[in-house]
Chain A
């Protein structure tokens, strides 16, 4: 099975190094606007959420593309936008359920994560392991754990008042 890229917002500190290395490796420029991964900061809630393409199994972006510029890379499983074909119509970005496709304003073409050909730079440089690139079964296990953790968190919080905290970071 191919590896997949997973985001764990609970571990993200919002340092945004992923945005910088992404744009740097793609375009030779540290410019978050040219990054395919974007960290969303929810100031009030105090959460940071990296958003990146999930390489859907049945991708609507590829279906709406009027010029067939989006196709699957058979080695990595990533959905790739071919620059020379893209006409920058934005259709893909409008239907992406994750908001993970954006326009490179200077080139007027759409950009999205291509998993760096199987060696995603954002993952490499992520200091807190909020980004994981691994086999689906590993990622699934992590996802499950993190889901359960966040569901029981309110419960733990309510107990916190009674007993000192036992929650530890793994």
Chain B
């Protein structure tokens, strides 16, 4: 069997591990347009901020691929998939496949404003981006977008003593992850470390001739030498779409619970794929590391003939804001439609916590400062457990002694 994997991220590499667990003989070729062996995007912020050495972002060495018996083609881009003849075209090469796995990940969303091609404008997705940002001389930086990546970049560059502005279009920072009150708390931490946070302003233009000179929002002008665009990610699907792969409503490649696309012999996994969620009954596109990893494993097993189903994605985001952990699971209030929403809130000097309940079901939780026990809530959020049921457990010594870990969340629920 000849397996071709497009993408050297966590999804693609999990495919390799899963196949090798059950099949030593399959011939595996992994293609990546990036030049490096596998690395972790999640710790690029730590590298950018100087908290860890560059070498620690890598997950594999070239010789690890060889040891796994994987042929790796780095710096090579797949440009076309010929589904009928089962061929992948690279720039100067074509490879035949029996099974093809598209693990092409995500790409930065660059808003359509004037000036994004000027020198000094970066996105923050890859190791190359991190290297380039580090090498670029700039005293003042504007980060556009305050999602987890925007916040991470801001903290990292502030640690490097740059003057940092963080500009957010919506009304508060981390808008997809936090509700307003916890977000304001995060904003105070950012400001306490010297980051200038600007919310509710739209970036309209990046100024300068050849190089960046500043940005214009709908309210002001900020002079700067560098702009980092962190306005979000979107699944990278063009290759698969052109080959006839069906897309889902959220813009990812549509797959079933075994990670199969509508094309025969073609699987998709990771940030580029939109998988069914058995809990909600809809499809979900939650572009996170652990989801990519699990999807990669499932795709790998299935393509090696071992039937496995994807249990659905988990929405857990954690951001380290100057050593203060910020943690969010499930949905914030702002993402839940309809009424019947109840918020159980704990606002203390050293931590903040809120549990979001909708129609009696636990749907989300946000915590700042104290986060170690929050995992206990995760299965409850995932399965949308009733608040009353969980309370019943934490209130009964008998049930609690069967599931003792529930005690850890008692104080957050009452």
Measured CB to CB, the residues of A under 8 A from B are: 7, 9-10, 40, 42, 45, 47, 49, 51, 60, 63-64, 66-68, 85, 87, 89-91, 93-103, 147, 150-151, 153-154
Q: Within 8 Å CB of A90, what residues of B?
A: 318, 320, 325, 371-372
Contacts of B379 in A (CB 8 A): 97
A94 touching B374, Cβ below 8 Å: yes
Is the beta-carbon distance between B316 and A99 smaller than 8 angstroms?
no
In the complex where A51-B405, A90-B325 touch, is A95 in contact with B397 (Cβ < 8 A)?
no
> In this assembly, does B290 line the interface, its C-beta being within 8 Å of a C-beta of chain A?
yes
A130 CB → nearest B CB, Å: 11
Q: A64 and B401: CB pair below 8 A?
A: no
Residues of chain A contacted by B290 (CB below 8 angstroms): 60, 63-64, 95
Contact of A67 among B56, B374, B398, B407 (CB under 8 A): B56
Query: If A60-B290, A64-B290 touch, does A94 touch B407 (CB 8 Å cutoff)?
Result: no
Please, how many angstroms separate the alpha-carbon atoms of A49 and B406 in the complex? Answer: 11
Partner of B401 from A9, A63, A68 at Cβ < 8 Å = A9
Answer whether residue B278 sits at the interface, using C-beta atoms and an 8 A cutoff.
no
- B407 pairs with A93, CB closer than 8 A: no
**A94/B371 in contact, CB under 8 A:** yes
Report whether B40 and A95 are in contact in the complex, using a CB–CB cutoff of 8 Å. no
Q: How far is the CB of B350 from chain A (nearest CB, A)?
A: 15
In the bound complex, residues from chain A placing their C-beta under 8 Å from that of B40 are 66-68
**One of B320, B325, B373, B400 near A99 (C-beta < 8 A):** B373
A102: which B residues are within 8 A, CB to CB?
372
B378 at the interface (CB under 8 A from A): yes
Complex Cα distance, B371 from A47, in Å, reads 24
Bound state CA distance, A47 and B289, in angstroms? 38
Q: Are B401 and A60 in contact (CB under 8 A)?
A: no
Question: What is the CB-to-nearest-CB distance from B188 to chain A, in angstroms, rounded to a whole number?
Answer: 21
The answer to whether A93 and B372 have CB atoms under 8 Å apart is yes
Contacts of A153 in B (CB 8 A): 398
Q: Smallest Cβ distance from A132 to chain B, in angstroms? A: 15
Most chain A beta-carbon contacts within 10 A, residue among B294, B327, B372:
B372
Report whether B408 and A150 are in contact in the complex, using a CB–CB cutoff of 8 Å. Answer: no
A-B contact pairs, 19 of them (CB 8 A): A7-B404, A9-B401, A40-B404, A45-B397, A45-B400, A47-B397, A47-B401, A66-B40, A87-B56, A89-B43, A89-B46, A90-B325, A91-B42, A93-B371, A93-B372, A95-B314, A99-B376, A99-B408, A153-B398
What's the least CB distance linking B389 to chain A, in Å? 16
Q: Give the chain A neighbours of B398 by CB distance below 8 A.
A: 150-151, 153-154
Question: A-side binding surface: helix, strand, loop or mixed?
Answer: mixed
Say yes or no for B95: interface residue by CB 8 A criterion. Answer: no
Separation of A154 and B399 alpha carbons in the complex (Å): 12
* A94 contacts B372, C-beta separation under 8 Å: yes
Report A-chain residues with C-beta under 8 Å of the C-beta of B51: 87
B52 at the interface (CB under 8 A from A): yes
Q: Are B314 and A60 in contact (CB under 8 A)?
A: yes
| B236 at the binding interface (Cβ < 8 Å) | no
How far is it, in angstroms, between the C-alpha of A94 and the C-alpha of B381 when the chains are bound? Answer: 14
| A60 with B404, Cβ < 8 A, contacts A87-B46, A87-B52 known | no
B402 contacts chain A at the CB level, 8 A cutoff: yes
- On whether the beta carbons of B52 and A49 are closer than 8 Å, the reply is no
Q: Decide yes or no whether B293 CB sits under 8 A from chain A.
A: yes
A99 touching B401 in the complex, CB below 8 Å, given contacts A63-B294, A66-B289, A87-B43: no
Query: Is there an interface contact between A94 and B316, defined as CB atoms closer than 8 Å?
Result: yes
- Cβ B400 vs Cβ A67 within 8 A: no
Q: Which residue of chain B lies nearest to A42 when distances are taken between CB atoms in the complex?
A: B407
B42 interface neighbour in A10, A40, A85, A89, Cβ under 8 Å: A89
B404 touches A97 (CB 8 A): no
Q: Are B407 and A89 in contact (CB under 8 A)?
A: no
Instruction: Give the residues from 14 to 67 in chain B that come closer than 8 angstroms, CB to CB, to chain A.
Output: 40-43, 46, 51-52, 56-57, 59
Given A63-B293, A66-B289, A153-B398, CB of A95 within 8 Å of CB of B325: no
B305 close to chain A: CB less than 8 A: no
Q: How far is the CA of A3 from the CA of B354 in the complex (A)?
A: 39
Nearest A residue to B399 via CB reads A150
Given contacts A64-B290, A93-B375, A99-B405, contact A47 B327 (CB under 8 A): no
B155, chain A: closest CB distance, angstroms? 13
Contact of B375 among A40, A49, A99 (CB under 8 A): A99
| Contact between chains at A40 and B372 (CB < 8 Å) | no
Complex CA distance for A42 and B320, rounded to whole angstroms: 31
Contacts of B325 in A (CB 8 A): 90, 94
Q: State the CA gap A7–B404 with chains docked (Å).
A: 10
What per-residue 1/0 map shows which CB atoms of B385-414 lie under 8 Å from chain A? 000000000000110111011011000000
Task: Give the chain A neighbours of B293 by CB distance below 8 A.
Answer: 63
- Residue in contact with A89 in the complex, picked from B294, B320, B400, B402, CB distance below 8 Å: B320
Q: A51-B405, A66-B43 are in contact. List 5 more A-B contacts (CB 8 A).
A: A40-B404, A63-B289, A94-B375, A101-B372, A150-B402
The residues of B that contact A10 with a CB separation of less than 8 Å are 401
CB distance from A85 to the nearest CB of B (A): 8
- Considering the chains assembled together, what is the distance between the CA atoms of A153 and B46 in angstroms? 52
What are the 4 tightest A-B residue pairs by CB atom distance, in nearest-first order?
Answer: A66-B42, A63-B290, A49-B404, A96-B375
